Chain A
Amino acid sequence: MKVDRALLRGFVLALVLASSSVSAQEKVLKFIPQADLRILDPITTTAYITRNHGYMVYDTLFATDAKFRVQPQMVDKWDISKDKLTYTFTLREGLKFHDGQPVRSADCIASLERWAKRDALGQKLAQSTDSWTAVNDKTFKLKLKKPFPLVLDALGKLSSNVPFIMPERIAKTDALQNISDAIGSGPFRFVKDEWIPGSKVVYVKNTEYVPRKEAPSWAAGGKVVKVDRVEWIYIPDSATAAAALNAGEADWWEQLPPDLIPLLRKNKDVRVENIDPLGSMGIMRFNFLQAPFNNQKMREALLYVVDQRDYVLGIAGDEKNGHTCYSFFTCGTPLSSELGAEPLKGKRDFDKARKLIGEAGYKGEKIVIISATDQPIVHSQSLITAELLRKLGLNVELQASDWGTMITRRTSKESVDKGGWSIFHTWWVGADIASPASMVMVNLGEKSWVGWPADPKLEQLRQAWFNTTDAAAGKKASDAVQVEAFKFVPYITTAQFILPTAYRSNLSGLIVAPVTFLWNVEKK
Chain B
Amino acid sequence: MIVYIIRRLGATFIVMAVVALFVFSLLFLTPGDPAAVIAGDIATADDIKLIRAKLGLDEPFLVQFGGWVWRLLHGDLGTSIFTNLPVTKLIGQRVQPTVSLTLLTLVLAVLIAVPVGVIAAAKAGTRIDRAVMGISVLAFSVPVFVLAYLLISLFSIRLEWLPVQGYRPLSEGLWPWLSHLILPSIALGTVYMALIARITRAAMLDVLSQDYIRTAHAKGLAARAVLARHALKNAGVPIITVIGIGVALLISGAIVTETVFAIPGIGRLTVDAILRRDYPVIQGVILLFSGIYVLINLAVDLSYSLFDPRIRY
Q: Is A408 a contact of B44 with CB atoms below 8 Å?
A: no
Q: Is B42 a contact of A243 with CB atoms below 8 Å?
A: no
* A44-B51, A243-B157 as given contacts; A198 in contact with B260, CB under 8 Å: no
Which residue of the partner chain B has the closest CB to A18? B173
* A19-B173, A249-B165 as given contacts; A197 in contact with B82, CB under 8 Å: yes
| List of B residues within 8 angstroms of A177 by Cβ | 54
- Asked if A196 is at the interface (CB within 8 A of a chain B CB), the reply is yes
Q: State the CA gap A206–B261 with chains docked (Å).
A: 31
* A22-B173, A243-B156 as given contacts; A234 in contact with B262, CB under 8 Å: yes
Q: State the CA gap A196–B179 with chains docked (Å).
A: 21
Q: Is A235 a contact of B262 with CB atoms below 8 Å?
A: yes
Extra 5 A-B pairs, beta carbons < 8 Å, given A19-B179, A247-B156: A22-B168, A47-B40, A199-B268, A404-B33, A450-B44
Q: Which residues of A contact B (CB under 8 A)?
A: 14-16, 18-19, 21-22, 36, 38-40, 44-47, 50, 118, 120, 160, 174, 176-180, 196-200, 233-237, 239-241, 243-244, 246-247, 249, 374, 401-405, 407-409, 411, 413, 426, 428, 432, 440, 446-450, 452
Q: Is B165 a contact of A235 with CB atoms below 8 Å?
A: yes
Q: State the CA gap A244–B165 with chains docked (Å).
A: 7
| List of A residues within 8 angstroms of B259 by Cβ | 236-237
* A46-B41, A46-B42, A198-B269 as given contacts; A411 in contact with B264, CB under 8 Å: no
Which residue of the partner chain A has the closest CB to B262? A235
Which residue of the partner chain B has the closest CB to A426? B41
Which residue of the partner chain A has the closest CB to B269? A198
Q: Is A160 a contact of B164 with CB atoms below 8 Å?
A: no
Chain B 23-50 interface residues, beta-carbon cutoff 8 Å to A: 31-34, 36-48, 50
Q: Is A39 a contact of B275 with CB atoms below 8 Å?
A: no
How distant is B35 from chain A, measured CB to nearest CB, in Å?
Answer: 8
Q: State the CA gap A174–B54 with chains docked (Å).
A: 10
* A198-B269, A249-B163 as given contacts; A18 in contact with B176, CB under 8 Å: yes
Ordered by A's residue number, 25 sampled pairs between the chains whose C-beta atoms are within 8 Å are A15-B178, A18-B173, A21-B172, A22-B173, A38-B276, A39-B83, A47-B40, A120-B42, A196-B94, A200-B264, A236-B259, A236-B262, A240-B262, A244-B164, A247-B157, A249-B166, A402-B32, A402-B275, A404-B37, A407-B37, A409-B31, A411-B48, A447-B44, A449-B42, A450-B45
- Asked if B59 is at the interface (CB within 8 A of a chain A CB), the reply is no
Q: State the CA gap A16–B174 with chains docked (Å).
A: 9
- The list of the 4 closest CB pairs from A to B, nearest first, reads A199-B264, A18-B173, A46-B40, A19-B175
| List of B residues within 8 angstroms of A176 by Cβ | 50-51, 54
Q: Is B38 a contact of A448 with CB atoms below 8 Å?
A: no
Q: State the CA gap A524–B285 with chains docked (Å).
A: 42
- Asked if B14 is at the interface (CB within 8 A of a chain A CB), the reply is no
How distant is A210 from chain B, measured CB to nearest CB, in Å?
Answer: 30
How distant is B303 from chain A, measured CB to nearest CB, in Å?
Answer: 30
Q: Is B90 a contact of A46 with CB atoms below 8 Å?
A: no
How distant is A23 from chain B, measured CB to nearest CB, in Å?
Answer: 11
Count chain B residues whose beta carbon lies closer than 8 angstroms to a beta carbon of A: 57
- Asked if B290 is at the interface (CB within 8 A of a chain A CB), the reply is no
Q: Is A411 a contact of B262 with CB atoms below 8 Å?
A: no
Q: Which residues of B contact A (CB under 8 A)?
A: 31-34, 36-48, 50-51, 54, 80, 82-85, 90, 93-94, 149, 152-153, 156-157, 160, 163-166, 168, 172-176, 178-179, 259-262, 264, 268-269, 272, 275-277
Q: Is B50 a contact of A249 with CB atoms below 8 Å?
A: no
Q: Is B39 a contact of A45 with CB atoms below 8 Å?
A: yes
Q: Is A19 a contact of B176 with CB atoms below 8 Å?
A: yes
* A198-B272, A428-B42 as given contacts; A240 in contact with B261, CB under 8 Å: yes
Q: State the CA gap A179–B149 with chains docked (Å).
A: 39
Q: Is A45 a contact of B275 with CB atoms below 8 Å?
A: no
* A249-B165, A408-B31 as given contacts; A15 in contact with B174, CB under 8 Å: yes
Q: Is B160 a contact of A405 with CB atoms below 8 Å?
A: no
Q: State the CA gap A160–B175 with chains docked (Å).
A: 43
| List of A residues within 8 angstroms of B277 by Cβ | 404
How distant is B36 from chain A, measured CB to nearest CB, in Å?
Answer: 5
Q: Is A407 a contact of B41 with CB atoms below 8 Å?
A: yes
Q: Is B262 a contact of A46 with CB atoms below 8 Å?
A: no
Which residue of the partner chain B has the closest CB to A177? B54
Which residue of the partner chain B has the closest CB to A283? B41
Q: Is A233 a contact of B166 with CB atoms below 8 Å?
A: yes
Q: State the CA gap A148–B214 with chains docked (Å).
A: 98
How distant is B188 from chain A, measured CB to nearest CB, in Å?
Answer: 15
Q: Is A243 a contact of B152 with CB atoms below 8 Å?
A: yes
How distant is B100 from chain A, measured CB to nearest CB, in Å?
Answer: 15
Query: Quick one: which of B37, B46, B261 has the most chain A CB within 10 A?
Result: B37
Query: Quick one: which of A19, A40, A179 has the most chain B CB within 10 A?
Result: A19
Which residue of the partner chain A has the closest CB to B163? A249
Q: Is A447 a contact of B46 with CB atoms below 8 Å?
A: yes
Q: State the CA gap A355–B90 with chains docked (Å).
A: 58
Which residue of the partner chain A has the closest CB to B34? A404
* A18-B173, A198-B268 as given contacts; A39 in contact with B38, CB under 8 Å: yes
Q: Is A197 a contact of B42 with CB atoms below 8 Å?
A: no
Q: Is A197 a contact of B80 with CB atoms below 8 Å?
A: yes
Q: Is B262 a contact of A247 with CB atoms below 8 Å?
A: no
Which residue of the partner chain B has the closest CB to A175? B50
| List of A residues within 8 angstroms of B175 by Cβ | 15-16, 18-19
How distant is A504 from chain B, measured CB to nearest CB, in Å?
Answer: 14
How distant is B141 from chain A, measured CB to nearest CB, in Å?
Answer: 21
* A45-B40, A46-B41, A47-B40 as given contacts; A237 in contact with B262, CB under 8 Å: yes
Q: State the CA gap A50–B84 with chains docked (Å).
A: 14
| List of B residues within 8 angstroms of A449 by Cβ | 42-44
Which residue of the partner chain B has the closest CB to A45? B40
| List of A residues within 8 angstroms of B179 by Cβ | 19
How distant is B10 from chain A, measured CB to nearest CB, in Å?
Answer: 35
How distant is A283 from chain B, measured CB to nearest CB, in Å?
Answer: 10
Query: Quick one: which of B84, B164, B179, B277 has the most chain A CB within 10 A?
Result: B164
| List of B residues within 8 angstroms of A247 by Cβ | 156-157, 160, 163-164
- For B31, give its contact among A178, A197, A401, A426 (CB under 8 Å): A401
Q: State the CA gap A15–B177 with chains docked (Å).
A: 10
Q: Is A39 a contact of B42 with CB atoms below 8 Å?
A: no
Q: Is A44 a contact of B268 with CB atoms below 8 Å?
A: no
Which residue of the partner chain B has the closest CB to A403? B275
Which residue of the partner chain B has the closest CB to A50? B40
| List of B residues within 8 angstroms of A408 by Cβ | 31-33, 36
Q: Is A197 a contact of B83 with CB atoms below 8 Å?
A: yes
Q: Is B40 a contact of A405 with CB atoms below 8 Å?
A: no
Query: Quick one: which of A15, A38, A374 has the most chain B CB within 10 A?
Result: A38
Q: State the CA gap A233–B178 with chains docked (Å).
A: 20
Q: State the CA gap A426–B43 with chains docked (Å).
A: 13
Q: State the CA gap A197–B89 with chains docked (Å).
A: 11
Q: Is B32 a contact of A404 with CB atoms below 8 Å?
A: yes
Query: Quick one: which of B54, B85, B175, B276 has the most chain A CB within 10 A?
Result: B175
Q: State the CA gap A446–B82 with chains docked (Å).
A: 27
Q: State the CA gap A44–B261 with chains docked (Å).
A: 32
| List of A residues within 8 angstroms of B36 by Cβ | 404, 407-408, 411
